[in-house]
Amino acid sequence: MFWIVVAILTAAVAIVLMYPLMRKTEAPQTRRDGEVAVYRDQLAELDRERAAGLIGKTEAEYARAEIGRRLLAAADAGEVPAKEIRSRRHNLAVSLITVLLPALGLCLYIWNGSPETPDMPLEARLENPGNDMNLLVARAERHLAQNPEDGGGWDVLAPIYFKTQRLGDAELAYRNALRILGPSAERLTGLGETLVAGNDGVVTDAARDAFAAADRLSPGNPRTRFYLALALEQSGKTEEARSAFDALAADAPAGAPWLPLVQEHIARTGGKAETGPTAADVAAAKDMAPADRQAMIEGMVASLDAKLKENPADFQGWMRLMRAYSVLKNDAKAGEALRAGLQAFPPQGEQGRQLLALAKELGVSAGPIRNGQAAPQGVTQ
């Protein structure tokens, strides 16, 4: 049956392509029709000049004979060869369409196709989708069409829709999952990101509400905090946005891939973004030996340490430095950073308390606190 269908389709395509070549023309034009028309105009002009007495009878007869000879020669030279050329061209085109194209298509199919593969209906493919993502999605969609209240199915399908940029389907899936399964931080964040993507990066009111609800359920998630800060920036609340981005950068782990984006928004809202590694530095670090990569990271941290000694009023910088030394397992340096930060921001102040809270979280000790100040290293009470 397959080969019969292929043969019928090939014949139909060949007929469509050859139809213009098979039509007959009632008045075929020669290649020298224009030349013949010129000679005929010359004969008519000659008659007008003879009638006006501008040329003598003898001269007129000689001219008419010469023009007539040229007219006959042009007519005889153009008509027969044109027919022969058209015939040769038509035969070549017909041969190409009827023989070469089907033969070429058949050879390509045998070489690159699977003519021996048996038919597999859609039902059978959906039952055994393997790793075919399109079939897996189609199977899930068929299941949800039959069981629209299956919240787990919508929950699984929603992020797949988002990744494949089916944003309308993703929004519907997230809303169904939220309606059936109830709110969760992951579902609310996914819905918010879908709404932002569908509005060209603008955090709409609905998206902001989704992120705010997600942040209440799971405080501190960098994704929700970023979008909430972005909403403030887009609504013109520059100071609040910069504070939110600063706090997000301060809490970022060392080497967080999204930190450069946050620093960019800090600079955009009028803050002072810390200079970090460039894209070229990151690409080079991937190919470095572990020892070289460690040396590169330590060099960046040392550079930040030097900047803070010149400008100790950078609260977010002390937070980042202390966290960086803690990640490097350099407790002594982390303690020095904490003590230096507390010298600039005393413990009784809000920022000093944040430094101490981070130190407690990281397990960093500043040494004894005396008169509201951190005692220098080696000094005890």
Angle, helices 205-217 vs 222-234, to 10°: value is 150
CB-based contact 194:218 (threshold 8 Å): no
The neighbouring-strand residues paired with 319 are none
Q: Helix count (H) and strand count (E) of the chain? A: 18, 2
**In which element (H, E) is residue 25 found?**
none
For 252-273, letters b (16+ CB in 10 Å) and e give: beeeeeebeebbebbeebebeb
CB-based contact 208:182 (threshold 8 Å): no
CB-based contact 151:177 (threshold 8 Å): yes
- What is residue 120's three-state secondary structure? coil
- State how far the Cα of 117 lies from the Cα of 42, in Å rounded to an integer: 73
Tokens of 115: 């003519």
- What is residue 381's three-state secondary structure? coil
| pLDDT at position 291 | 64
The amino acid at 32:
R
| pLDDT at position 380 | 31
Q: Tell the residue number behind the tokens 């048996």, with chain if given.
A: 118
- What is residue 43's three-state secondary structure? helix
| pLDDT at position 359 | 87
Q: What is the residue-level pLDDT of the chain in tens, covering all 381 positions?
A: 666 777 787 777 777 777 666 665 544 444 566 677 777 787 788 788 778 877 777 777 877 778 777 777 766 655 544 455 555 566 666 666 677 777 777 777 777 766 666 555 545 444 555 556 677 777 778 888 889 899 998 998 899 999 888 899 999 999 999 999 999 999 999 999 999 999 988 999 999 999 999 999 999 899 999 999 999 999 999 999 999 988 888 888 766 777 778 888 888 888 765 544 444 454 555 555 666 566 666 777 777 788 888 888 888 788 888 888 887 788 888 889 889 989 888 888 888 888 888 888 888 876 654 444 444 433 333
CB-based contact 240:310 (threshold 8 Å): no
| pLDDT at position 374 | 47
| pLDDT at position 285 | 52
- State how far the Cα of 37 lies from the Cα of 35, in Å rounded to an integer: 5
